[in-house]
Each structure stands twice: as structure tokens, then as C-alpha cells.
Amino acid sequence: MSLAADAFVSQMAAAEPWPENATLYQPLKEDQILLSDCASSLAVQAYLRMCDLPVQVVCKANAEYMSPSGKIPFIHVGNQVVSELGPIVQFTKAKGHSLSDGLDDVQRAEMKAYMELVNNMLLTAELYIQWCDDATAAEISRPRYSSPYSWPLSNILAYQKQWEVRRKMNAIGWGGKTLEQVYEDVSQCCQALSQRLGTQPYFFNKQPTELDALVFGHLFTILTTRLTSTELAERIKSYSNLLSFCRRIEQSYFEGKSS
Amino acid sequence: MAAAMELRCWGGDWGLPSVHTESLIVLAYTKFSGAKVTVSPIDWTWKTLTATVPELLCGDSAVQEPTQILNFLRKQRFNADYELTARQGADTMAYIALLEEKLRPALLHTFWVDAENYANLTRPWFASRSPFPLNFLVPCRHANTALSRILLTKGEAPLHRITEVEGKIYSDAKECLNLLSYRLGTANYFFGNSPTSLDAFVFGFVAPLHKASLPSSPLQSHLRQLDNLTGFCDTILAVYFSSDHPCPPPPVQETVDANLQKLTQLVNKESNLIEKMDDNLRSSPQHKPHRPDPKPSLASEKSSTPA
């Protein structure tokens, strides 16, 4: 039944062109937003800029609750609300803008596989470091997550979120991992991405695709976010082609505007 | 290493050496890499409740989880990925992530959550392989774990209801099977002529779906349309798990000099660079063809030679 709803939304989406007043919602940038949400939001912003679709970024404290799926970021276009990169890519495709049309089937399979690799490893590692590592959770995640709310609501929400994320980590088997193992997994993931990128400007040669946007979002956020230890950023910095990749996308799509 | 290795896993049925996905992955990899392990099924023992399966025992150490076991076997010089380039190794990681994210929830649902399949196939099978009184506990515990895993990873808080995610996980799984089929094409294995760890993972995930006699499964009917994937499973079963003829030897691994290995990797990198330069020279910078090539439909996959 949700498939029928998706098809209906696609049809509605195809009917109208991209409006000027499209907005992207995310939590407050300075005080509230966390590493994983910031990475996802930056990935969507990069994707929309690559498609040359204008969007305004609006920061709201309750963005997570406004989102239809509970995940950040979400965009409000016309009279539709779509959240998360996957559905947003399909939504823009229904409107006729797509970055991966030129790929053949095998390349598309590879692109989807690498996107799942980033989601499976990098995103999960970010969530683990934020919520399952006690030091980071106490110093950074819980205070930031609950900053817009007053006591006792702030405590309740922060611990509830932590409990949810820890349950999920246990279910997928990351509950028993140590921080060192998680850093090791991130290194392996970055090694795989670095080897796939090689010396090319983008993952699929000349044109950026949603994979480039996703990888940029995660790597750039990790490199520029202050955590309790710089171990994660150091691991990524050891892959020079990934660093120049991030720099290249930042210069091509984000320079000249404050994001 | 000459230390004897023992693998604990679930037993086999439906023409497969094991019905449990993770056990199947490890079994397939041991065959591909030529590792000699004694297989001890945990059926009808109390280990069905207590042990984490699969588990590899070698001397004093016990290793669990397929990825850890494969790493351990590689360190013992049983390496089926020996001839892969660095980029193919990266592709392997990516495709395994794709299987875990897209295919596993639907498989868990098909076998453990779907009421008809669970009542008619999965629960009787696992109950019959567990000693009394565990036959009441073991299938229930697995089903609860499966359901909670699906809801936690795919469910959208706060409405944790299975009906809302069913449609999504099945469409994701069908797409994943299609992607695997495109990637496999007409080849026997995913990389070249000898199977690697990616083949072991795909076999472990796809073979139970292919062989089990499920009363109701749209996913199984979708898989049956992808001839190259079903042919892939049948080939591996016939070549590596048939009791008639012996397994082909694994790719010979001489004690390679570390320098020689580095040299080989450098040469591979060089040839990749040359290929890319060639591509760059060929493709003109201004014009990008706007017409995508006509995509081969799934029907054309049927023309691939079955195993």
C-alpha cells in the first residue's frame, strides 16, 4: 500500500516543475545538530546543488518531529514533503532531474552498492560514536540534542534517543564492538572508497552522481566537526584522494555562498 | 596451518549443505579456498540454544560471525580472494553491504515473520532439529529476533508496525536481486573464473530462497525469473557440494615474495591509469550523449546460458 502511495506521489511530482521556494529543514546548526544528521543534510544539499535546483535551508528545533519518517533532512516542495536522500533522489527524478541517467545497468548496480556501503559503515559508525561511546554521548551528543528544551524534558528526550540508538546497534550486531573496532571499520570503508575513486574526479568519471553527494556529505562533516577525539578525522586524512575529492566538490558547488 | 578446524553450524536440507545463511556463507568459502574443516552440525544438541552459529574452532580460539571467520581463514592462508585487484576488493565490500541492507530484511521476513511460511516450513524444520524441550523455544526466539531487527532498522518510529514496512522491504529486495543479476551477467562467478568471498556471500543469501519450498513467496517467484542467479547457485552446488566428484583445487598460492606482491599491485595500478587515460582521450569533453543506451530488459537475461 505504501508502494501505491509512492506511485501517486511520483505522479503528482511529475506534474509540476521545481518551485522557487523549496525549503530544506534541519535542526539548529550551531547548537543542536549532531554529526550524523549534519552529514545526511549536507549530502542532500550537495545533491540538490549538483542538480542545479535551488533550495533554502531552514533550521528548526523540531525538524526531526516534522519529518514524515522521523529522519533528517526533509524538503518541502510545493505541497509535498519528502525525507532522506533515497526518496529525494526518486522525487527529483520524477520531476525530470537526474544525475545517474547516463550510467548503464552494471554501473548503476555499483553505485547503489557503494551507497549502501556508506550507509552501512559510515553512518552506523557515526551513530555509534555519537551515542554508544559514553564520553562523546555525555559531553557532546546529549547536551546538544536536548539544548532547545528545558529540564526535565531535555533529559527525557536525550536518554530516550540514546536508548533507541543503542537498541538498534545491538540488533545489527554493533553493540559488542569496541571504539577501536569501529575506527578500523571506518578505515576499511574509506580504503574501499579511495580505491574505487582512484585518480578520477568523481566516482563515475566526469559527472557527479548521488554517490558523490553522499560521500562528500559524510566525509566533509567528519573532517570539520569537533569530537572528543580527532581519531576519526585522522583516519580519513590518510587518504589524500578523498581529501582532494571533498575540496573539489566544496569549491565547485559551495564556494561563493554561505551554507 | 595444520591445526584441525571444526565448524559448528546448522544442518542441511532441501539440497543444501546448510539452511542457515551465515553457515552457508562459511561453508561455501571453505570449499572455495580449499580449507579443510570438519563440519559438526548442532542439530539435536543443546547447542541450538546456547551456541552462536556459525562458529569456527581452531585449537584454543573460537571465532564467530562470517566476516570474522573469513578474516581468520585468510590469515591461515586460505584465501579465495588472492587474485582480486584492490578495486575488486572494494567492490566486494560494497556488494556485501548491499546484500546486508537490502536483501537480509526481506529474507528474514520471508522465513521468520510471514505467518504461512513460518508455520508451515521454518518452525517445523527448526523444531524438528532441536531436542525436547528446546523445540518450543528455539524457533520462537529466532522469530522474535528477526522481527525486532526488521522493525528497528527499517521501521519508522514511532509507528513500529510490520505491515507498513513490508512493501518497502520487498521492493528493495527485488531491486537488489535485479542489481546482482545485472552485475553477474553471463559469467559463472562475480569476478572471473574462480569463486571469491563475494560469491560465497551471494550464495549464502540466495540459495535458501532458491531451494526452500516456501508456500507463499513473491520474492521466490521473482528470483526464479532471474535465470543467471539460479544458475549461479546450481553451479556452485554441483561443482563444490556434490558428493559425486571431488572439488576443483583452489587457486594455487605460492609463497609470494612481499616485493613481488607490491610489484604486481603497482603494475595493476599502472594499467588502470592507462585505461583511464585512454577513456579520457576517447570521450570528448564537450558533448555528452543525452540519449542513454537502450537498457537491456530483464527478458534478455533469459538468453544467458544456464549452468
Task: Measure the CA–CA gap between B194 and B83, rounded to whole angstroms.
Answer: 9
Is A110 in Cβ contact with B183 (below 8 Å)?
A: yes
Task: Measure the CA–CA gap between A229 and B42, rounded to whole angstroms.
Answer: 44
- Yes or no: say if B37 and B73 are a contact pair by the CB < 8 Å rule: no
Is A189 in Cβ contact with B168 (below 8 Å)?
A: no
Question: Which chain A residues are within 8 Å of B102, Cβ to Cβ?
Answer: 116
Q: Tell me the per-residue pLDDT of B176-200, one tens digit each, with 9 for 90 and over.
A: 999 999 998 888 888 888 889 999 9
For residue A172, give the nearest of B93, B153, B182 by CB distance: B153
pLDDT value at residue A4: 67
pLDDT value at residue B299: 41
Q: Cβ-count burial of B148 within 10 angstroms (0-12 exposed, 13-18 middle, 19+ buried)?
A: middle
Interface with chain A: mutation pick from B68, B71, B91, B176, highest number of A CBs within 10 Å: B91
Task: Measure the CA–CA gap between B92 and B198, rounded to whole angstroms.
Answer: 6
* Enclosing H/E stretch for A57: strand A56-59
Q: Is the pLDDT of residue B258 over 80?
A: no
User: Which of the pair, B169 or B158, is modelled with greater confidence?
Assistant: B169
Phi, psi of B46 (to 5 degrees): -70, -10
Mean pLDDT, chain B, whole residue set: 80
Query: Does the CB of B282 have a partner CB in chain A at under 8 Å?
Result: no
Helices and strands: H and E segment counts in chain A: 13, 4
Q: Is the pLDDT of residue B303 over 50?
A: no
pTM over 0.90: no
Query: Does the CB of B3 have a partner CB in chain A at under 8 Å?
Result: no
For residue A70, give the nearest of B98, B157, B279 by CB distance: B157
Average pLDDT over residues B79-108: 89
Q: What's the grid cell of residue B274?
A: 592507462
Structure confidence at residue B156 as a pLDDT band (50, 70, 90) = low
Q: Residue with C-alpha cell 607490491?
A: B262
How many Cα atoms are found within 13 Å in the side-chain-facing hemisphere of B108?
A: 25
Question: Which chain B residues are within 8 Å of A101, Cβ to Cβ?
Answer: 292
Q: Tell me the per-residue pLDDT of A161-209, one tens digit each, with 9 for 90 and over.
A: 999 999 989 888 888 888 898 999 999 999 999 999 988 888 887 889 9
- Yes or no: say if B196 and B189 are a contact pair by the CB < 8 Å rule: yes
User: Which of the pair, A159 or B280, is modelled with greater confidence?
Assistant: A159
Structure confidence at residue B286 as a pLDDT band (50, 70, 90) = low
Q: What's the grid cell of residue B236?
A: 556452485
Q: Is the pLDDT of residue B295 over 70?
A: no
Q: Tell me the per-residue pLDDT of B20-66, one tens digit each, with 9 for 90 and over.
A: 888 899 989 988 888 888 888 888 887 777 777 788 888 888 888 88
Query: Does the CB of B266 have a partner CB in chain A at under 8 Å?
Result: no
pLDDT value at residue A24: 92
Query: Does the CB of B149 have a partner CB in chain A at under 8 Å?
Result: yes
Question: Which chain B residues are within 8 Å of A188, Cβ to Cβ?
Answer: 93
Query: Does the CB of B278 have a partner CB in chain A at under 8 Å?
Result: no
Q: Which of B3-12, B59-68, B113-122 is modeled with the greatest confidence?
A: B113-122
Is B86 in Cβ contact with A189 (below 8 Å)?
A: no
| Rounded alpha-carbon distances, angstroms, from residue B228 to B80, B104, B202 | 22, 20, 12
pLDDT value at residue A83: 86
Question: Which chain A residues are within 8 Å of B175, Cβ to Cβ?
Answer: 112
Average pLDDT over residues B12-17: 85
Is B100 in Cβ contact with A116 (below 8 Å)?
A: yes
Is A198 in Cβ contact with B272 (below 8 Å)?
A: yes
- Is omega for the bond preceding B158 within 30 degrees of 0, making it cis? yes
Query: Does the CB of B4 have a partner CB in chain A at under 8 Å?
Result: no
* Strand ordering across the sheet containing B37-41: B37-41, B5-9, B55-58, B61-64
Q: What's the grid cell of residue B140?
A: 520462537
Query: pLDDT tens, position by position, for chain A (259 residues)?
Result: 456 666 776 677 677 888 888 899 999 888 888 899 999 999 999 999 999 888 899 998 888 888 888 888 899 988 889 888 988 998 898 888 888 888 888 888 899 999 999 998 999 999 999 999 888 889 889 999 988 889 899 999 999 999 999 998 988 888 888 889 899 999 999 999 999 998 888 888 788 999 999 999 999 999 998 888 888 888 889 999 999 999 999 998 887 544 4
Minimum CA–CA partner of B182 in chain A: A106
Provide the CA A203 distance to its chain's centre, in angstroms.
17
Minimum CA–CA partner of B164 in chain A: A2
pLDDT value at residue B245: 52
pLDDT value at residue B147: 87
Interface with chain A: mutation pick from B96, B98, B186, B279, highest number of A CBs within 10 Å: B98
Question: How many residue contacts between A and B have a Cβ separation below 8 Å?
Answer: 99
SS (H, E, C) A145-192: HCCCCCCCHHHHHHHHHHHHHHHHHHHCCCCCCCHHHHHHHHHHHHHH
Query: Does the CB of B95 have a partner CB in chain A at under 8 Å?
Result: yes
Task: Measure the CA–CA gap between A238 and A216, rounded to whole angstroms.
Answer: 16
pLDDT value at residue A44: 93
Coil vs helix vs strand at A203: coil
The ipTM (two decimal places) reads 0.88
For residue A110, give the nearest of B91, B157, B292 by CB distance: B91
Query: Does the CB of B102 have a partner CB in chain A at under 8 Å?
Result: yes
Q: Is the pLDDT of residue B256 over 80?
A: no
pLDDT value at residue B304: 42
Is A172 in Cβ contact with B295 (below 8 Å)?
A: no
Nearest CA-CA partner of B144 in B123, B165, B164, B158: B123
pLDDT value at residue B300: 41
